[in-house]
Amino acid sequence: MSFRSQISVLFIDVFFIKTRLTLKSAIDSFSHFIQDGWSDVFFLISRGEVEFEMKDLPE
């Protein structure tokens, strides 16, 4: 696994813990950001365009 992939996975793990992002939303939101770069991720988060929900998180 590349260093960038490790950072991406770590970021998503932390994001799950710190927020309540649905699993599906996380996959949809981050799959292309991991390839395209991080500026869009933080832009969307800063604009509040990431949905927060508890129900889809694994136990």
Q: What is the tens place of the pLDDT at every residue in 23-57?
A: 666 666 666 555 555 555 555 555 555 544 444 44
Return the number of other C-beta atoms located less than 10 Å from residue 21's C-beta: 22
CA 41 to chain centre: 8
Domain count of the fold of the chain: 1
pLDDT band at 59 (very low <50, low <70, confident <90, very high): very low
Q: Whole-prediction pTM value?
A: 0.21
Of residues 28 and 8, more confidence is placed in: 28
Rounded-to-integer distance, Cα 5 and Cα 48, Å: 24
Show the 3-state SS of 21-43. CCHHHHHHHHHHHHHHCCHHHHH
User: Does residue 36 sit within a domain?
Assistant: yes
**Domain span at 23:** 3-46
Tokens 């590349």, residue located: 2
User: Does residue 31 sit within a domain?
Assistant: yes
